[in-house]
Amino acid sequence: MRISEKRMLKLTNELKKVHIKYKTNIQLSSLTTIHVGGLASIILEPENSSQLYEAVYIAEKFGFQFKVIGNGSNLIISDTNIDFLPIINKKGQWEVIDTSPRSRNIKSKFSQNDSNSDKIFENGKDVIVQADSGIRLTQFATELYQKKIFGLEHFAGIHSTIGGAVYKNIHGMNKLFSDIIESVTILDNSKIRIISREKLNFDYDYSFLQDTNQILLSANLRLKQGDITELKKLRAKWIQQKTPQPQKSAGCIFQNLTKEQQDNLNLPTQSIGYFIDQKLNLKGKIIGGAKISENHAEFIENIGDATSNDIHSLIKFIQNESEQKYKIKLALKVELAGKFK
Ligand SMILES: Cc1cc2nc3c(=O)[nH]c(=O)nc-3n(C[C@H](O)[C@H](O)[C@H](O)COP(=O)(O)OP(=O)(O)OC[C@H]3O[C@@H](n4cnc5c(N)ncnc54)[C@H](O)[C@@H]3O)c2cc1C
């Protein structure tokens, strides 16, 4: 996004007034896990949810189209034509706000029981923790342990902020992130609203944030406080299991097949990785610096200096193969931001 010198000066003066940090001329590739993304003339770096509110307010006041970016772990940003003002929301604070909440079961129909691990989670008492949307889950889990609080273990090893986790309704092991949400505070057309979980529209891979321009400021999470010894071990084990996944990636590229598609193809699983590997035979396929992972065919990894177009071309290639061979349209799970050919 091109910003005239005069406008940039006005913008930076405004940011300084409210102590919001910013950086100029930043390659967004340094802020995405797949390491692609072009030059942004300025990025804003709020440090908590109130600064995020201010940052959005200023962006809107200047008439900029903006995008809140968390840890950049689900984004493929174009190498050129960045047409938005990036608000990098990777910091925040958290606090315990209720130590004796009314008990309730908020497990969703998508979550499955896992008797091996579920028992460990039965110990401890419920607590409600309010967390800014910029907090990163890995750091958050470690900080929670210092207060003997647990409940994020299922999402161990996912490089997400709270904002990204709610936006995508991430899933880890047998749980969805929405399972632990009590309520959220959002910014909706310059108004702050608190919405309880019952009124939020969550689904597998889906949250209401995907269809609105609302920004998540913070979330109240129902976690547990108690003995963390076994939980720590479980978390370490689950992180270990995720480590072989290609880290220089944007996670799983496509959504899994539907039950109907699985049945039609007579496959043992809905896994998109299985489909790409066993039916399309595309494991290891390379375009430029982008490769379909040998270990996890649902991931595209940056094996060197991939451009955003290398990745985009590989995505289109997989989609074409799927449509031509099986008439299946593969829906993206990652998000493309900026301009692609
Ligand atoms: C190696 C690897 C493994 C992964 N494993 C998993 C997994 O097991 N399960 C899983 O579900 N996902 C997984 N992912 C995908 C990814 O980590 C998640 O989708 C994650 O939630 C993205 O969070 P983020 O903070 O990086 O969001 P970003 O990628 O920065 O943003 C994603 C979207 O969220 C929006 N957003 C972010 N913050 C806010 C906010 N405060 N308000 C409104 N919108 C916001 C952004 O605008 C963007 O549209 C994996 C990714 C990688 C690289």
Last residue of a domain, one of 69, 88, 107: 88
Q: In sequence order, what DSSP letters do the residues of 94-149 get, joined into one string?
A: EEEEESSPPP-----TT----HHHHGGGGSSEEEEEEEETT-BHHHHHHHHHHTTE
**Cα–Cα distance for residue pair 257/245, rounded to 1 Å:** 20
174 lies in the same domain as 311: no
The confidence score (pLDDT) of residue 71 equals 98
3-state helix, strand, coil in the chain (%, to 5): 35, 25, 40
Residue 22 phi, psi (nearest 5):
-150, 160
Lowest mean pLDDT among 128-132, 213-217, 241-245: 241-245
Last residue of a domain, one of 33, 53, 88: 88
Q: Domain containing 307 — which CATH number?
A: 3.90.78.10
**Cα–Cα distance for residue pair 273/295, rounded to 1 Å:** 9
Last residue of a domain, one of 88, 106, 140: 88
The confidence score (pLDDT) of residue 28 equals 98
99 lies in the same domain as 76: no
259 lies in the same domain as 277: yes
238 lies in the same domain as 98: yes
114 lies in the same domain as 233: yes
Section 298-315 average pLDDT: 97
What is the position in ligand 1's atom list of the atom closest to the CA of 249?
A: 53
The confidence score (pLDDT) of residue 293 equals 97
Q: Tell me the per-residue pLDDT of 106-151, one tens digit each, with 9 for 90 and over.
A: 665 556 666 566 778 888 899 999 999 999 999 999 999 999 999 9
Instruction: Look up residue 81 and give its DSSP letter.
Output: -
Please name the residue whose Cα sits nearest to atom 48 of ligand 1. Answer: 69
Q: Domain containing 230 — which CATH number?
A: 3.30.465.10
Please give the single-letter amino acid code of residue 339. K
What is the position in ligand 1's atom list of the atom closest to the CA of 333?
A: 19
Please name the residue whose Cα sits nearest to atom 39 of ligand 1. Answer: 163
Give the helix ranges, DSSP H, for the chain. Answer: 5-17, 49-61, 115-118, 137-146, 162-168, 229-242, 259-265, 272-274, 308-326
Q: Which of 83, 85, 170 to mutate to test the pocket of ligand 1 (most atoms within 8 A of CB)?
A: 170
Section 227-248 average pLDDT: 93
Ligand 1 neighbourhood includes 256 CB (under 6 angstroms): no
Model-level pTM greater than 0.85?
A: yes
User: b or e along 4-22 (b: 16 or more beta carbons within 10 Å of the residue's beta carbon)?
Assistant: eeeeeeebeeebeeeebeb
322 lies in the same domain as 227: no
Please name the residue whose Cα sits nearest to atom 20 of ligand 1. Answer: 160
Q: Tell me the per-residue pLDDT of 52-64, one tens digit each, with 9 for 90 and over.
A: 999 999 999 999 9
Arithmetic mean of pLDDT over the chain: 94
**Distance between Cα 80 and ligand 1 center (Å):** 22
Share of the chain above pLDDT 70, in %: 96
114 lies in the same domain as 32: no
**Cα–Cα distance for residue pair 315/312, rounded to 1 Å:** 5
The confidence score (pLDDT) of residue 107 equals 60
Which has the closest alpha carbon to 278: 231, 325, 335, 240? 325
Q: Tokens for 35?
A: 């390491």
**Cα–Cα distance for residue pair 74/333, rounded to 1 Å:** 8
**Distance between Cα 160 and ligand 1 center (Å):** 5
**Cα–Cα distance for residue pair 306/76, rounded to 1 Å:** 11
* 213, pLDDT greater than 90: no
Confirm if 52 and 161 have CB atoms less than 8 A apart: no
Q: Tell me the per-residue pLDDT of 167-183, one tens digit each, with 9 for 90 and over.
A: 999 999 889 999 999 99
**Cα–Cα distance for residue pair 333/254, rounded to 1 Å:** 5
* 34, pLDDT greater than 80: yes
Q: Tell me the per-residue pLDDT of 309-328, one tens digit each, with 9 for 90 and over.
A: 999 999 999 999 999 999 99
Ligand 1 neighbourhood includes 160 CB (under 6 angstroms): yes
Lowest mean pLDDT among 129-143, 203-217, 277-291, 297-311: 203-217
191 lies in the same domain as 223: yes
225 lies in the same domain as 253: no
Residue that the structure tokens 């091996």 belong to: 116
Structural domain total, the chain: 3
66 lies in the same domain as 168: no
Element (H, E) at 220: strand 215-225
Please give the single-letter amino acid code of residue 163. G
Residue that the structure tokens 């940090």 belong to: 21
Expressed as residue numbers, the domain containing 118 is: 94-242
185 lies in the same domain as 227: yes
SS3 8: helix
pLDDT-based confidence at residue 81 (cuts at 50, 70, 90): confident
**Cα–Cα distance for residue pair 269/249, rounded to 1 Å:** 23
Q: Domain containing 31 — which CATH number?
A: 3.30.43.10
The confidence score (pLDDT) of residue 164 equals 98
**Distance between Cα 166 and ligand 1 center (Å):** 9
Q: Tell me the per-residue pLDDT of 97-107, one tens digit each, with 9 for 90 and over.
A: 999 898 776 66
142 lies in the same domain as 212: yes
Q: Which residues contact 45 (CB under 8 A, 6 or more apart)?
A: 20, 21, 22, 23, 88, 90, 91
Higher pLDDT, 109 or 335: 335
